[in-house]
Structures are given as structure tokens and as C-alpha cells.
Amino acid sequence: MSTTTAHPKRTSITHRREKSVPHEVKETLDAVVTENQDGERCLNNYILKEVIGQGAFGTVILAYDKNTKMKYAIKEFSKSRLRRKDKANYFRRPRRGGLRGRGGVPGSSATNHTSDPLYLIRSEVAVLKKLNHVNVVKLYEVLDDPNNDSLYMVFEMCENGVLMDVNINKKSTSFPEDKMRLYFREMILGFEYLHSNEIVHRDIKPDNLLLSKDGVLKIVDFGVSEIFVKGNDKLKKSAGSPAFMAPELCVARHGEISGQAADIWSMGVTLYCLAFGCLPFEKDNMLDLYESIRKDDFEIPENTDPDLVDLFHRILEKDPEKRITMPELRVHPWVTEKGTDQLITTEENCTDMVTDITDEDLKSAIKTISMGAAIAVIVAGNKWRRISKSHHMSSEDLDKFKAMGIADEKRGSKENNKENNEENNEKNNEKNNEKNNEENNEENNEE
């Protein structure tokens, strides 16, 4: 994973799927962060270098394995931020028709969300541990630092960076047609594999398509992905980047929509960026952008290949029922150069099918300190606050709290109360801001 754009040379657009060798994802439960003699942070055997990107819930850092000298991309998450975010999201989360909770994992319930604050990341890890495809980024290790606020995911390094840098009102260099076709074919194979495994990505864009050292396209960032029940890919919640969202998602209370059809629209917007170096729909205001996606036609230069023009009209079809499907997409004349260069079969592409992601997969995705111990600390912390506020505390209670690392002799109850009040105010402000923003967005969309 990286953020530097590069266009490595690839000599062929022929794809062949070698059977992948399943890899084990290492789980490290007692990670320790130290500092070496050069002042660099070290996470167990990894030397953490510069920040190379930002994810939905964390920072992406370039790292080296001290033993093998291999490069990795390590995603660092704040567990406290995940707890706050997931708690706020849970109470706004609608029931989803065919989807099995966030990430489609079974057992999505209030119990899961309140007792397992890392549920969002557990789901992403469980998904990535099961996937095994050349065009999907590999997860190698998950590390939990039980003494600090960080959780780490170690990914393969994609040294050639993002497929393309694209921003509203910013023109980028378009790709030659053969290069564009090569990467789009790899997108088809990667997303066909995901869809065949009942996974919709929901945030397809050039930023989430990276290139390996050898120039192979890798799909990354499954932070908002969903797993659906086979035969029912309907979802109710919008997610993803606005400029790449399908028209059916650009309305308030849009009801159930096809996750696969929405992914295919986003693939079309990405292809448009590669072809013309800009977005098909560009507005400075979010509401204007949504309206443009729903109502406006996109422009195509006159000298564009007729087969590519046809593909754009079919993939950027505003009606999801009429939009091109994955089986139709893989045999389209532009994709196959009029049938002279067929993709490998769906059966060959989806050889390494994953098994269903179960409750057990979720529980074992990231093994951390026992929840009982965590709850004991929380209960003790609450008791500490109550007693410290009253200014009445026995020496026996004080010794107990010190042993649990909750009480500090040098900090008076007044300081603790102040810190707690500031923390509560921050959380309340964050919750109110999120609620107000959501209500305003819904009202504006309806208008």
C-alpha cells in the first residue's frame, strides 16, 4: 500500500490464473512498540518509517522487517476511536435486508457491538484472511498492543502506488488505451472474485487500486465492504466516495439497492478517469454533485473508440436494472478486443473460493485480552470516578485502584473530574455533530 503514482511497464494483457498458495495470517497478541538507537519506532520486528497514507480509521506507515529487510505497509488503528465511531454508528444503523451485519458477518447485534469494540476491524480482518486472489491485497499479520491504544494490520507493500490521482476540478494524465484496458481487465477479475464470494467493496476508486512492484493491480481498503447472503446483495446504507457513488445511492432514504450494481458503476467512473483524466461528474457542492450524478449526461470526446463509448453508456447507465452486469462486462468487445483476447473463465478466476465467514471467524480474527478483564477495569474505573468525586476514599480502596493502574497519588480528584468532564464533553460534542450533520445532509438531499 502506498500513495505514489507510477506507471510500471507491462508487456502483455493476457491473464492466466495460477492457483494461489493459501497463506496464514499471523496473530501477535503481545506487540510492543519501542524506539531504536536512531530514534525510529519499532513494532516487534518491524521498523516503522514514514506515513504513506490515511485510511478510514487509521494511518498507513511504510515499514521494514528487521530480519528479512522486506517492505510492508502497516495500518495503525486507534482502538478508542473505533469504539466511539462504532457506538455512534450502531444506533443509526438500519436493518439490512440481505446483508449479514457490517461486513455481512453473522451475529451482528447490539451485544456484539457493545461487548466487542473492535467489531468493525474484526470484520475486515476476517474478510481479508479468507480472500486469496492475485488482484486483492494480502494481509500478513495482525498485532495488538494490549498496553496501548493501537492495533496494527500488516499488508503487502504496493510500491508503485495508487493507480491514478484524481480530484474534482483537477485534470490528470490519461492512460494509453492498452494500459487502460490492462488495468480494467484486472479490475474485472478482482471484483468478479469478490462478488462471487458475496462481497461488495462499496468504495471503488483509483485511490483504492494500488500497483505492486511488478505493476499488478491490487484492490485495497475493505473498511466499508459488505458481505451479502448469496442471491441477495441488497443494502440500505450509503458508503464510499461521493464522486464515485451510483445514482441510486445519491438520494436520501434510497431503500434497498444492489451492491454489485453499485460497484460496477464505480468501476465505470474509475475507467472514465483512466480514459480522460477527470471525473464524469464534477461539482463543488456535494448536493449539486449528487444531483448531477442522478440527472446529467457525461461527455465523451469525439475521437473515442466506438466500443469504449458503448461500454461507458452501458456501465454508467443510471438505472441499475439496465446497467451492464459482470458476466456481460467480461465479454464486452472493448474488454476483449472484439473477442480476440478473452479473459480467463469465471470458474478459473474464482478457483480459490472462500468459505462462509462465521461467528467463529470473527471471534478469532483478532484475539485480544479477555473481555472479562477489560470489563473489570471499566467497572473499577467508574467506581474510582464516583469515589474520587465524593472526596471520601479508604486507604484500602486507593491501594486497589493503584494496583489496577487507575489511581495516581499525584493526581487529585479535582484533576480526575476535570479530565472526565473534558472527555465526556468531547464525546457528546462529537456525537451531536455527527447527528446534526446526518440530519442536515438528509434534509438537503430531500430538498
The reply to whether 326 falls in a domain is: yes
Same domain as 389, residue 337: no
Q: Which of 350-359, 368-377, 396-405 has the highest mean pLDDT?
A: 350-359
Q: Do 320 and 260 touch, CB atoms closer than 8 A?
A: no
Same domain as 307, residue 384: no
Same domain as 277, residue 406: no
pLDDT for 333 beyond 50? yes
Same domain as 121, residue 52: yes
Nearest Cα residue to 271 out of 180, 334, 186: 180
Residues in the chain: 447
| Range 4-8, long-range pairs (CB < 8 A, 24+ positions) | 4/52, 4/160, 4/161, 4/162, 5/161, 5/162, 5/163, 5/164, 5/165, 6/160, 6/161, 6/211, 7/160, 7/175, 7/179, 8/160, 8/211, 8/213, 8/214, 8/215
- Looking up residue 78, the CATH number of its domain turns out to be 1.10.510.10
For 294-317, write each residue's pLDDT tens digit.
999 999 999 999 999 999 999 999
What distance in Å separates the CA atoms of residue 150 and residue 272, rounded to the nearest whole number? 38
What distance in Å separates the CA atoms of residue 167 and residue 279, rounded to the nearest whole number? 8
Same domain as 332, residue 268: yes
Q: Do 224 and 251 touch, CB atoms closer than 8 A?
A: no
Choose between 279 and 124: higher pLDDT: 279
What distance in Å separates the CA atoms of residue 230 and residue 191, rounded to the nearest whole number? 16
Cell numbers 477527470 correspond to 278
User: Which of 364, 392, 409 represents a domain boundary (last residue)?
Assistant: 364
The reply to whether 225 falls in a domain is: yes
What distance in Å separates the CA atoms of residue 151 and residue 185, rounded to the nearest whole number? 34
The reply to whether 2 falls in a domain is: no
For 110-159, write each residue's pLDDT tens digit.
445 444 445 556 777 777 877 899 999 999 998 888 888 888 999 999 99
The reply to whether 20 falls in a domain is: no
pLDDT for 290 beyond 70? yes
Residues contributing to the annotated binding site for ATP: 75
CB count within 10 Å of CB 91 equals 10
Same domain as 134, residue 238: yes
pLDDT for 414 beyond 90? no
Q: What are phi and psi of 338, to 5 degrees?
A: 60, 35
pLDDT for 107 beyond 80? no
The reply to whether 5 falls in a domain is: no
**How many domains is the chain partitioned into structurally?**
2
Nearest Cα residue to 99 out of 212, 246, 210, 200: 200
Residue 52 grid cell: 504513506
Same domain as 430, residue 340: no
The reply to whether 297 falls in a domain is: yes
Same domain as 341, residue 434: no
Choose between 279 and 98: higher pLDDT: 279
User: Which of 310, 333, 364 represents a domain boundary (last residue)?
Assistant: 364
The reply to whether 13 falls in a domain is: no
Cell numbers 480502596 correspond to 397
As a whole number, the mean pLDDT across the chain is 76
Same domain as 52, residue 184: yes
pTM comes to: 0.70
State which residues form the domain around 393: 371-446
User: Which of 343, 364, 385 represents a domain boundary (last residue)?
Assistant: 364
Same domain as 341, residue 380: no
Residue 411 grid cell: 493526581
Residues contributing to the annotated binding site: 75
116-120, 249-253, 277-281, 363-367: segment of lowest average pLDDT? 116-120
Same domain as 411, residue 307: no
Catalytic residues: 203
The reply to whether 8 falls in a domain is: no
pLDDT for 384 beyond 80? no
Same domain as 343, residue 389: no
Question: What pLDDT was estimated at residue 108?
Answer: 43
